[in-house]
Structure 1
Amino acid sequence: MFAHLSAPSTDQVKETVKNMLQFIQMTGRISGAHSVEFYTQDVWKTLIAVSPEAVLSAFSQQQEVKHGGQDSIDVSRIFSKATQQLVDLEAFVEAARHYSLLNMGLCTPIEEMIDVFAAQRTEETNKEIKTDQFMNDKKSHEVAIMSQLVKDITNIFHIKQVIDLGAGKGYLSSYLSMRYGLNVYGLDSSHTNTDGANKRNRKLKKYWQVYKTNARTTSKARKSEEREESLLPTNHCPDTNADQDISRPRGDDSISNTVEDKISSFTYASEQSDQKDSMHSVHPTQNMVDSSSFLDVLPTGAVELPPSSDVSKVLSHQEKERRKMENIKAKNLNESHVYSPLTSYVTAETELHDLITDLEESIMVGLHTCGDLAPNTLRIFVAKPEVKAVCSVGCCYHFLSEEFETLEDQTDRTWGFPMSKYLKEKSCHIGRNARMSACLALERVAVGQGLPTESLFYRAVLQVICKEVYGITQRSYSIVPQSKNILQTDQRVGKIFSKSSGFTDYVRKSLKKFGQDDSKLSDEEIMGYYEKYEPRRNELEAFNRLKVFLAPCIEALILLDRLCYLREQDNIAWSGLVKLFDPVKSPRCYAVVSLKEP
């Protein structure tokens, strides 16, 4: 089956990485420059020999250009050999476009995977739950697409267990469990996230207890009403619940609409169910739908149902004990089908059996796993025979650890980059600022989103004030001890921009956060700095557009390193990169997918 999935050869991937690495290293001074130090280090004059207007114009037109399919790009004319400045903007843009995953032809189309896996799809996947009823648009988009792929892969391997690393608030995990009846373990290092996921699970169960109780009550009432309705004239329209859709007949084709109606009321009902008297707080007429409609969408064990209370006879002691044991067995069975959030910090050395006592053949997933967790997910997949497949979408590249970023000898630790032997042999490194540039979103910026130009300008001018007035000469991310005139890692402006009424207020709040005496400067002096650099704001904006151009290239290098790593393993049947999401909705849209033999 995997033979029907297209993917570039290992040699093709390595050749592409080699050529791409040359371009990324050549443009490293641009991607590695920090906006904070833009004016203090006169970055534009030092690195760029074209006008800001030319860069901004090229960026605005980049969506209109048809991307070519060249095998190689001439990058030698981009920079001046004498000054090392960027002199050929057209060649720069052409190369940046070429060395992005979108244009290199190295990805497996998601449509192809769906077609190949369609034959294994079970009938239950035809049921629809609209995720936008309980998630924002971005998360709904991601969960709906990724969960379908995950379910298709579980069908291929005939497995029911999913391990979600970096599960966060549990949106993907909950959906996989609720929608497809999978046994999902969600691991997250944050107690806050795990506790929140547990509370949502409890509320879901309580909500369904309320729902079933009222469904039984209204069932009897409806039968009585139906007997009365049979005596009414045929043109009589009986009273109905205004929230129900009466334009469609009851049955399987109404599942989708019923689900949408009931999920939309989940938040309210779950909050009410936390109260002791919640079992009586929902009026019966709020739940006048067939009890099978919404429950059919959920797996059998997704909720715990209360025992029936309409027993007309006194039960014997033996009968009570028998029913008690049946309830215990049923509860244990039910709990094997629900989402189980666990708190644990996962590394490449994590032993899954210590966290999941009933570990069996499973698929490992991660939706926007941060920093080193994404590469560690792949390492665990390779090392554990129980994990048959992996689908990992990483994010936060600036939190990746790099083996060759410093000269410090730390050979005993596991690094986030590089993973592959191929790039390790080249001692490849990117640098933190360049990895931060990789987090920029080209498609979002192209439609006017994702780049906080005003706050970047404020911060760059603030750094001029820090240098000229307070003697703070640079901003450091190093964890080693620094001199007193260097801002330490934890001395950052943070969210002060959004809380400031203007530039003067922003500067004063920032200086106080840095422990500096803001009374050294009058309001007029502060605004003097703003007015001095305002005419050069377009330089900063244009420079950040150049970094946005480079973002897909750096991301491609990181992801292709992960693909190379998987291709170097002996126990992998197929590996590829798949573009899962709309990059405007979800900029980190590429998944690393790898499958062992079924």
Structure 2
Amino acid sequence: MLFLGATSDVPFISHAMNEKKSHEIGIMSSVCSTLAKRERLRHVVDVGSGKGYLATTLYMQYQLSVIGIDSQTGNTHGALRRKQRLEKQYKGLVKRQQERTDNSRNCRNSEHLSEPPVRETVMRGESHEVTVSSEGHKVKVNSEGHKVMVNSESHNATEDDKPTHIALTAFIGPNDQLDKYVEPYFQNNQFMLTGLHTCGDLAGSMSRQFIHSPACTLMVGVGCCYHLISEMFCANPFQPKVDEEASATPQFPMSSFLRDKHVKLGRNCRMLSMQSKIGQDSVFDVSLFWRAHLQKILFDVHGYWRKDWILGKIASRCSSFREYVRKAFHKLHIESQLTDAQIDDYIHQHAHVENKMAMFFQLRTALSPAIESVILLDRCLYLLEQNATTMVVIKKLFHPSKSPRCYAIIAKKKEA
């Protein structure tokens, strides 16, 4: 069931995205637009915007002014190029969508079909590197050292109220205030904060930025990549602490309730939280069987296994266990005297274990929703502990079979 009357019936979505992304963007954009209209907001900041799918849809389809922020310059430039292509095709896509709607008895009329803005208040041009002061004004020297790439030549915030789309490259730390980045473009206007599948710590940082930024009054965020979250009471042995600010502000647990109890998950639990539940009719992935046998071979034949060894997804490129072992040894720089016959005999001797492993992993993945719930509820508790919030809810937006990370945290601040 879609939320708040959300619909994925957007004219250019199926044309410009794959099925999974179309499903996500169609629903997420409709939810954000509905909430923005309800709260009388016309400005949106999309953090971790990536290729700009959500930002472009909110701008073109729902006539909202959007700043898309991403830490990668390539994503920012790609988002602008993609928007320019869609603007050229928009009228034709709207017409085609309307024809499909008219010819289908089961489709309701589209409510928001309209042409994109006649012009933008942001002039596209070369990328200019600027720095942003703590007050949000462009200056030559920034005491905080933040670097921002703004893909625009000029912006006049006093021009008539036309929707704008700005692609901005910046890394925003968990304790930053978004206001200083958006004020030159939105001035004193209140805005909504959105993030679709914000990776790892970014989802937690997004909640902190929502609280710390006075002009941000509404948040809709869907997180993902829980295995990349930094923990307060459990260090990741595979990831050195390269970002002092991030390591000083771990994103689990966030709430005082769980911090007081010293709750920790650990890397294995966080990895498990990302696994989709295996259906009764699904086939057990043989790569798990091969991976377990490879580790046993290394213990039996070579006497050790190093935790820092990373194989990656080599099983998908192998047609047999023999080929898998050879490629694994090559990638790990291990010399082996095992013959092909010995490798084949090894897996044949343990063939009876495969069914047991399949049952074990099916039971194991049944715990995945519980671990994900702990992470999501911790973020909700953090928001509820703040005096500024008046509403915090968790809502399933997407169908899990199409988008396993389907839960959104929606939060609203008290009126000033």
Which residue of 2 is the match for residue 339 of structure 1? 165
User: Structure 1 residues 332 and 135 mapped into 2: Cα distance closer, same or farther (>3 Å)?
Assistant: farther
Residue 391, structure 1, aligned to residue 220, structure 2: yes
Contact 1:302–1:335, Cα closer than 8 Å, also in 2: no
User: Structure 1 residues 299 and 597 mapped into 2: Cα distance closer, same or farther (>3 Å)?
Assistant: farther
Q: CA deviation at 1:419?
A: 0.6
Normalising by structure 1, we get a TM-score of 0.56
Aligned mates of 1:352, 1:448 — CA distance in 2: 47
Which residue of 2 is the match for residue 465 of structure 1? 297
Aligned mates of 1:126, 1:465 — CA distance in 2: 50
Aligned mates of 1:329, 1:562 — CA distance in 2: 36
SS of corresponding position for 1:358: helix
Q: CA deviation at 1:512?
A: 0.9
Equivalent residues in 2 for 1:67-466 (5 A)?
A: 111=3, 114=4, 128-129=10-11, 131-205=13-87, 256-257=97-98, 296-301=114-119, 337-356=163-182, 357-359=184-186, 360-406=189-235, 413-442=248-277, 445-446=278-279, 448=281, 453-466=285-298
Which residue of 1 is the match for residue 142 of structure 2? none
Contact 2:56–2:165, Cα closer than 8 Å, also in 1: yes
Matched positions, count: 367
Contact 1:127–1:255, Cα closer than 8 Å, also in 2: no
SS of corresponding position for 1:368: strand
Task: Render the CA deviation track for 1:65-90: whole Å, top value 9, x for unaligned.
Answer: xxxxxxxxxxxxxxxxxxxxxxxxxx
Q: CA deviation at 1:382?
A: 0.7
SS of corresponding position for 2:352: helix
User: Structure 1 residues 136 and 460 mapped into 2: Cα distance closer, same or farther (>3 Å)?
Assistant: same
Match of 2:404 among 572, 587, 593: 587
**Can you give the 5+ residue segments of structure 1 that lack an aligned partner in the other structure?**
1-108, 119-124, 212-242, 245-251, 261-293, 306-327, 474-485
Contact 1:205–1:303, Cα closer than 8 Å, also in 2: no
Aligned mates of 1:404, 1:329 — CA distance in 2: 45
SS of corresponding position for 2:290: helix
User: Structure 1 residues 335 and 403 mapped into 2: Cα distance closer, same or farther (>3 Å)?
Assistant: same
Task: Render the CA deviation track for 1:538-565: whole Å, top value 9, x for unaligned.
Answer: 1211111111110111111111111111
User: Structure 1 residues 448 and 393 mapped into 2: Cα distance closer, same or farther (>3 Å)?
Assistant: farther
User: Structure 1 residues 470 and 380 mapped into 2: Cα distance closer, same or farther (>3 Å)?
Assistant: same
Contact 1:440–1:548, Cα closer than 8 Å, also in 2: yes
Task: Render the CA deviation track for 1:433-480: whole Å, top value 9, x for unaligned.
Answer: 0111111122xx22656x86111111111111222222323xxxxxxx
Aligned mates of 2:168, 2:100 — CA distance in 1: 28
SS of corresponding position for 1:163: strand
Q: CA deviation at 1:151?
A: 0.7
Which residue of 2 is the match for residue 561 of structure 1? 378
User: Structure 1 residues 207 and 129 mapped into 2: Cα distance closer, same or farther (>3 Å)?
Assistant: closer
**Corresponding letter in the other structure for 1:461:** H
Aligned mates of 1:348, 1:535 — CA distance in 2: 49
Contact 1:302–1:334, Cα closer than 8 Å, also in 2: no
Which residue of 2 is the match for residue 247 of structure 1? none
Task: Render the CA deviation track for 1:390-436: whole Å, top value 9, x for unaligned.
Answer: 01111111111110114999997111110110000000001110111
Task: Render the CA deviation track for 1:157-202: whole Å, top value 9, x for unaligned.
Answer: 3222111111122111111111011111111222332222122123
Could you say which structure has the larger radius of gyration? 1
Aligned mates of 1:344, 1:329 — CA distance in 2: 18
**Corresponding letter in the other structure for 1:366:** G
Aligned mates of 2:261, 2:290 — CA distance in 1: 39
User: Structure 1 residues 296 and 191 mapped into 2: Cα distance closer, same or farther (>3 Å)?
Assistant: same
Contact 2:2–2:397, Cα closer than 8 Å, also in 1: yes
Q: CA deviation at 1:207?
A: 5.5
Aligned mates of 2:324, 2:75 — CA distance in 1: 32
Q: CA deviation at 1:586?
A: 1.0
**Can you give the 5+ residue segments of structure 2 that lack an aligned partner in the other structure?**
102-111, 124-153
Worse-superposed segment, 341-350 or 453-462? 341-350
Q: CA deviation at 1:132?
A: 1.6
User: Structure 1 residues 579 and 407 mapped into 2: Cα distance closer, same or farther (>3 Å)?
Assistant: closer
Contact 1:511–1:517, Cα closer than 8 Å, also in 2: yes
Which residue of 2 is the match for residue 102 of structure 1? none
Contact 1:365–1:390, Cα closer than 8 Å, also in 2: yes
Worse-superposed segment, 520-529 or 408-417? 408-417
SS of corresponding position for 1:530: helix
User: Structure 1 residues 544 and 302 mapped into 2: Cα distance closer, same or farther (>3 Å)?
Assistant: farther
User: Structure 1 residues 589 and 126 mapped into 2: Cα distance closer, same or farther (>3 Å)?
Assistant: closer
SS of corresponding position for 1:365: strand
Structure 1 vs Structure 2: percent identity of aligned residues? Answer: 34
Contact 1:381–1:388, Cα closer than 8 Å, also in 2: yes
Contact 1:346–1:373, Cα closer than 8 Å, also in 2: no
Which residue of 1 is the match for residue 314 of structure 2? 496
Task: Render the CA deviation track for 1:85-127: whole Å, top value 9, x for unaligned.
Answer: xxxxxxxxxxxxxxxxxxxxxxxx864xx27xx9xxxxxx999
**Structure in which a larger fraction of residues adopt strand:** 2
**Corresponding letter in the other structure for 1:198:** L
Aligned mates of 1:384, 1:596 — CA distance in 2: 11
Contact 1:110–1:578, Cα closer than 8 Å, also in 2: no
Aligned mates of 1:562, 1:401 — CA distance in 2: 14
**Structure in which a larger fraction of residues adopt helix:** 1
Relative contact order higher in (CA < 8 Å, ≥ 6 apart): 1
Aligned mates of 2:319, 2:236 — CA distance in 1: 44
Aligned mates of 2:52, 2:99 — CA distance in 1: 23
Which residue of 1 is the match for residue 135 of structure 2? none
Contact 1:577–1:593, Cα closer than 8 Å, also in 2: yes
Task: Render the CA deviation track for 1:326-370: whole Å, top value 9, x for unaligned.
Answer: xx9999969963432222223212342453332431111111111
Aligned mates of 1:530, 1:145 — CA distance in 2: 46
User: Structure 1 residues 183 and 394 mapped into 2: Cα distance closer, same or farther (>3 Å)?
Assistant: same
